[in-house]
Amino acid sequence: MFIEPNLSGERRGWIEVICGSMFSGKTEELIRRLKRAKIANLKVEIFKPAVDKRYDENDVVSHDANVITSTPIENSQTILLMAQDVDVVGIDEAQFFDAEIVSVCEKLALKGVRVIVAGLDMDYMGKPFGQMPNLLATADYITKLHAICMKCGNIANISYRKTNEESQVLLGEKETYEPRCRNCFHE
């Protein structure tokens, strides 16, 4: 990732979005970037939606069991209240946050904060998910990750739901979802 040098001396923030299907490594990449920021002695705060209790009630945990301490929150405005005097803010599962998440990220970036957001860009029907399209539109940097299709072995970009549940939000893991490529998803 190329970061433009800032010759004026003022700190400039930006928004990075990591997106893709389930099992593509989004949270793994978020944790990697946040740990590197901590190694650089930057002040880091990490947030996740309180509704996501799959692996841990508080921490952000990847499917590969990498962990980073986070703060579960009910709404995105809380991030502005809790992220005072920080260099980097990490946000996991952004698709579950309210419509204000985009303006929260924008405000943080304007204050000179590096904002790293991870989330599903599409739901189980292959449709744009939550505020992710708006975050992608306002991002300075985008990383789209892919999983491996469980049917054919090609790259996968859609989280196929293996149950008949029709609500858009259904927290689950490998028993509920599997990554599929475009062709296998539409079969």
Distance between start and end Cα atoms, the chain = 37
Q: What is the mean pLDDT of residues 84-102?
A: 95
Q: Among 40-44, 86-90, 122-126, name the one with the lowest average pLDDT.
A: 122-126
Q: What is the mean pLDDT of residues 157-168?
A: 78
Supply the pTM of this predicted model.
Answer: 0.86
Cβ neighbours for 133, distance < 8 A, ≥ 6 positions apart: 121
CATH homologous superfamily, domain 14-146? P-loop containing nucleotide triphosphate hydrolases (3.40.50.300)
Beta bridge partners of 14: 114
What pLDDT digit, counting tens, does each position of 23-82 carry?
999 999 999 999 999 999 999 999 998 876 555 555 655 556 566 677 899 999 999 999
Cα 100 from chain centroid?
15
Choose, from 29, 45, 93, 178, the residue flagged as catalytic.
93
CA distance 121 to 157: 9
178 noted as active-site residue:
no
* pLDDT given for residue 41 in this prediction: 97
Which helix (H) or strand (E) is 88 found in, with range?
Answer: strand 88-91
> What are the domain boundaries of the chain?
14-146
